[in-house]
Amino acid sequence: MLFFTSSVHMQLRRFLLFSMALAVLLLETAHASGFRIANQSLGAVGISGAQVASTRGADASYYNPANMSFIPDQWQLETSLTLLHLPKITYTDTRFSTLNGTSDGELFYLPLVHVVTETFDRLRFGFSLTYPYGLSKQWDQMYPQTFAKEFSLLTVEANPTFAVALTDWLSVGGGVRFVHGRGQVKNEVAGGGLPFGMERSSKGTDTALGYNLALSVRPVSEWTMAATYRSRIALNLDGATEMTTSAGMVAPYSGRGDVAINLPAVFSLATAYTWDSLTVEVGWERTFWSSFDDLYFLFHPAVTGTPYAVFDGVLQKDWDDADAYRLGLTYAWNERWTTTLGVSYERTPVPSATLGFELPDADALVYSAGIRFRPSPRFEYGVSYMYYRTRARSIDAVTDGNLSDISGRFTDGGAHALTFGMITTF
């Protein structure tokens, strides 16, 4: 069909507007699981993100728009809700037990939306509402809260996409990325050689644009090769800053603050092959974290020459590009039941020299499983689970040259994700 009815159009438009409004509202209370959140759909959670070449549903709009040319010619809508639990992280200092700490555990909710239209000649359109990046840690103990009493970055992305089938076996796609970010930083400095205490609270928001590109090659119907690229997004979070101190007659500070944050580009290569009922995908992904050099805090009016200058200046990061390796299995038992399994290995971009309490990251192994049930040709329901297992990480302030003077061991952490979803075709 070349045109769709006005009623369907209006219902879909209202649904998308409601979903975007809900996502922005949830940014006020949600806490994210790390700087990049790779798994953004029912299928991706159940297959450890190995969803670039083999994607055959509405989430192709996000993971590989070019693949929209190869899925059945009908409207598809996927709605899902991810419950993400972040266990506490334990820090054990090697110098003094009084410097030990434990971060707060967290639970939050991510409503996700993916839509793919029917084909208009050789052209197809899609839309995805996702949360591509998030960073949050809260510490209540004296030493950790000096650096990150609360440190959070929350993002929501609206991503309209398109695909063009150049031939029956070659498709290209792309889209525009509208990313809204909201950040908050709280520090509380007490002791550490200072004769007084200080506290800082900053909030900021920004919206920026980017793009994504995709290429899919399908030499035969069973085999797909794919490449995708998501551009870097530069956010400048600007908002209110409040600072207080117990130092003598120094007045509280109330002004504006801003900090620039680069959300890195991502490049993926993947291939998938189907044998009868089994589809296997292997993929490699590089996230260009080397663009994340520092966090540069600026305050207006300036705080130079005041006790608050301790919060001013550059927080060095110098992160490295990081690779992820993904393997996913999808098995269709019959027309109604489908199961998935996935595993991935993800390298941390955080070097020992700049690791801090805001993100004590480590290499991780990710294990996933999912099941979907199709009671009728129009509806499919599913549930997926992911376990993100991080390694313990030890830091030595002297041998590692840690800029925050951290000498200790981070244990526990990781993440658990449970996603419930519904896929509708019409």
Mean pLDDT calculated for residue range 10-20: 45
pLDDT of 194 reads 55
pLDDT of 224 reads 98
pTM greater than 0.75 (yes/no): yes
What 3 state SS string does the chain have? Answer: CCCCCHHHHHHHHHHHHHHHHHHHHHCCCCCCCEEECCCCCHHHHCCCCCCCCCCCCCCHHHHCHHHHHHCCCCCEEEEEEEEEEECCEEEEECCCHHHCEEECCEEEEEEEEEEECCCECCEEEEEEEECCEEEEEEECCHHHHHHHCEEEEEEEEEEEEEEEECCCCEEEEEEEEEEEEEEEEEEEECCCCCCCCEEEEEEEEEEEEEEEEEEEEEEECCEEEEEEEECCEEEEEEEEEEEEECCCCCCCEEEEEEEEEEECCEEEEEEEEEECCEEEEEEEEEECHHHCCEEEEEEECCCCCCHHHHHCEEEECCCCCEEEEEEEEEEECCCCEEEEEEEEEECCCCCCCCCCCCCCCCCEEEEEEEEEEEEECCEEEEEEEEEEEECCEEECCCCCCCCCCCCEEEEECCEEEEEEEEEEEC
Q: How confident is the model at residue 339 (pLDDT cuts 50, 70, 90)?
A: very high
pLDDT of 193 reads 52
Inside any domain, residue 182: yes
pLDDT in tens, 177-187: 999 999 888 88
Q: How confident is the model at residue 196 (pLDDT cuts 50, 70, 90)?
A: low
| pLDDT > 90? residue 337 | yes
Q: Which residues, including other chains, have CB under 8 Å from residue 260's CB and lie 6 or more apart? A: 234, 235, 236, 237, 295, 296
| pLDDT > 70? residue 309 | yes
Q: How confident is the model at residue 190 (pLDDT cuts 50, 70, 90)?
A: low
Higher pLDDT, 277 or 311: 277
76-86 and 337-346: which strand pairing?
unpaired
Of 102-106, 215-219, 286-290, the least confident: 102-106
Closest CA to 60 of 206, 210, 183, 216: 216
Give the separation between CA 62 and CA 58, rounded to whole angstroms: 8
Higher pLDDT, 250 or 281: 281
Mean pLDDT calculated for residue range 29-35: 41
Inside any domain, residue 62: yes
pLDDT of 195 reads 57
pLDDT of 142 reads 85
* Paired tokens of 29: 């209370």
Spell out a b/e string for 214-247, using b for 16 or more CB atoms within 10 Å of the CB, else e: bbbbbeeeeebbbbbebbebebebbbebebbbee
Higher pLDDT, 134 or 32: 134
> Mean pLDDT of all residues in the chain?
88
pLDDT of 24 reads 42
Task: Provide the domain limits for residue 90.
Answer: 6-425
Q: How confident is the model at residue 26 (pLDDT cuts 50, 70, 90)?
A: very low
pLDDT of 107 reads 85
pLDDT in tens, 356-388: 998 889 999 999 999 999 999 999 999 999 999
Counted domains in the chain: 1
Specify whether the CB–CB gap between 264 and 287 falls below 8 A.
yes
Mean pLDDT calculated for residue range 329-349: 97
* Paired tokens of 245: 């101190």
Of 10-14, 109-113, 174-178, 244-248, the least confident: 10-14
Closest CA to 46 of 371, 349, 411, 401: 371
Specify whether the CB–CB gap between 66 and 172 falls below 8 A.
yes
Mean pLDDT calculated for residue range 404-408: 92
* Paired tokens of 344: 């991935």
Give the percent of the chain with pLDDT over 90.
64
Give the separation between CA 400 and CA 334, rounded to whole angstroms: 54
Give the separation between CA 219 and CA 217, rounded to whole angstroms: 6
User: On the CB side of 188, how many CA atoms lie within 13 Å of its CA?
Assistant: 10
Inside any domain, residue 1: no
Q: Domain with 157 in it: what CATH number? A: 2.40.160.60
Q: How confident is the model at residue 9 (pLDDT cuts 50, 70, 90)?
A: very low
Mean pLDDT calculated for residue range 306-317: 81
